[in-house]
Amino acid sequence: MGERDINQGSNSELEKGFSDKSSASFQFPKWVNRVPALILITVTLVLVFVIHLFWYWFSPNHLEVGYEPEQPIPYSHRFHAGELGIDCRYCHYNVESQAHANIPSSELCLNCHSQIKQDSPYIKKIQEHVDKNEPIDWVNVHMLPEYAYFDHSRHVNSGVSCIQCHGRVDQMEVVQQVESLSMSWCLDCHRNPESYIWPKEHVTNLSWKPDEDQVEMGKRLVEEYHLNPKIECSVCHR
């Protein structure tokens, strides 16, 4: 064997060695095969967390409950409805006959305040609106979407108390939203009316409390009032 053959054999072995080492350097460990699955699981968990975060924090419970707008003229429900005991229907006089509860007119305020606290700057402001025949731009606290229909008269005449939706406004200096008014919240009452129905004569008596178990009383009243709340979509979405 000549020197040339020996050199060629050595070169071939060296190239083979380098080739083997080069191939070995690009071989990934077996656990790498699980990386795509781990990435997919991680991305899925992150998406679920983000969706839950938006669903929870951007729900009516967080965006609307506690809403307490400043009104153009301060009005204390705590004083008028609580301390003085003025019935809800004196100001919101159409809740038993119409779907939408009325906002009291300026003239209604002056039924009392034409004789009481006429020198108050707030009463003078109300008088100015009356003189100019301009309504006061009260800020709506409890707002439903346009696609949701709610009939105040139907609920009030069925024994649903004001506090079920509006809370103890007779204890509020400034009215705020205390319930989410969401679809699931409404459906809970429609599916379990016995947990919410009061005697009709007490629906505007915000301080009244039943002297018996609410559910037992509610079951009796549901039967007595012939109540059968519907849960079909078309009931509220018209």
Mean pLDDT of the 11-27 span: 57
Check if the beta carbon of residue 163 is closer than 8 Å to that of residue 179. Answer: no
Position 99 pLDDT exceeds 90: yes
Q: Residue 197 forms beta bridges with which residues? A: 160
Mean pLDDT of the 100-117 span: 93
Residue 167: CB atoms within 10 A of its CB come to: 16
Position 94 pLDDT exceeds 80: yes
Q: How far apart are CA 25 and CA 52, in angstroms?
A: 44
Mean pLDDT of the 104-129 span: 94
Using 50, 70 and 90 to split pLDDT, how confident is the model at 57?
low
The per-residue pLDDT for range 155-190, each reduced to its tens digit, is: 999 999 999 999 999 999 999 999 999 899 999 999
Q: Residue 160 forms beta bridges with which residues? A: 197
User: Which H/E stretch holds residue 53?
Assistant: helix 35-57
Structure tokens belonging to residue 72: 């153009």
Backbone angles phi, psi at 197, to 5 degrees: -75, 135
Whether the full predicted model's pTM is greater than 0.75, yes or no, is no
Q: How far apart are CA 150 and CA 146, in angstroms?
A: 10
Using 50, 70 and 90 to split pLDDT, how confident is the model at 95?
very high
> Where are the domains positioned within the chain?
3-58, 92-103+142-236
